């Protein structure tokens, strides 16, 4: 159950687009379309942004989009806003019947 691999940090200016990658294996991301993305502000519970690779829960802005290719999933945030500054986590279902998260990516809005 090794954690998925995410970049430790990414940054972008307001209005720009950024993409966060999440790399797993053929036993998790590569095997299932059960990939989720979360946003977490300090001291708060995680907030679901994307589920099942590319689906947005009700109320989530269409500035957030998800995709997957092979063993790597990606989260794209377009029209970057100051409020998007937070930690982002990916997660995936695994062949062991468990769930695994990535190590997290800190997004800085310059």
Rounded to the nearest whole angstrom, what is the least distance from the CB of residue 84 to other proteins in the complex? Answer: 18
Question: Which of 13, 62, 83, 97 is the binder for other proteins (CB under 8 A)?
Answer: 97
Could you tell me which of 25, 21, 28 has the C-alpha nearest to residue 6? 21
* Smallest distance, other proteins to C-beta of residue 81, A: 22
The pair of three-digit structure tokens given for residue 13, joined into one six-digit string:
């200016």
Please give the Cα distance from 65 to 78 (Å, whole number). 8
Q: What is the DSSP letter of 3?
A: P
Nearer to other proteins, 23 or 92 (CB): 92
Contact between 3 and 71 under an 8 Å Cβ cutoff? The reply is no
User: In terms of CB distance, is 28 or 84 closer to other proteins?
Assistant: 28
- How many other β-carbons are positioned within 10 Å of the β-carbon of residue 3? 14
Q: Which of residues 32-91 bind other proteins (CB under 8 A)?
A: 34, 36, 38, 40, 45-46, 48, 51-52, 57, 87, 89, 91
Cβ nearer to other proteins, comparing 32 with 63:
32
3 binds other proteins (CB under 8 A): yes
C-alpha span between 64 and 60 (Å, rounded)? 8
**For 83, phi and psi rounded to 5 degrees?**
-70, -10
By CB under 8 A, name the binding residues for other proteins. Answer: 1, 3, 34, 36, 38, 40, 45-46, 48, 51-52, 57, 87, 89, 91-93, 96-104
């Amino acid at each position: 159950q090794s954690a998925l691999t995410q970049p430790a940090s990414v940054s972008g200016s307001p209005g720009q687009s950024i993409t966060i990658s999440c790399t797993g294996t053929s036993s998790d991301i590569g095997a299932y379309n059960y990939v989720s993305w979360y946003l977490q502000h300090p001291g708060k519970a995680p907030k679901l942004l994307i589920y099942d690779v590319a689906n947005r829960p009700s109320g989530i802005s269409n500035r957030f989009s998800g995709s997957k290719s092979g063993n790597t999933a990606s989260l794209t945030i377009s029209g970057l806003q100051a409020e998007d500054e937070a930690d982002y986590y990916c997660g995936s279902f695994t062949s062991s019947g468990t769930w695994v998260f990535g190590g997290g990516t800190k997004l800085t809005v310059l």
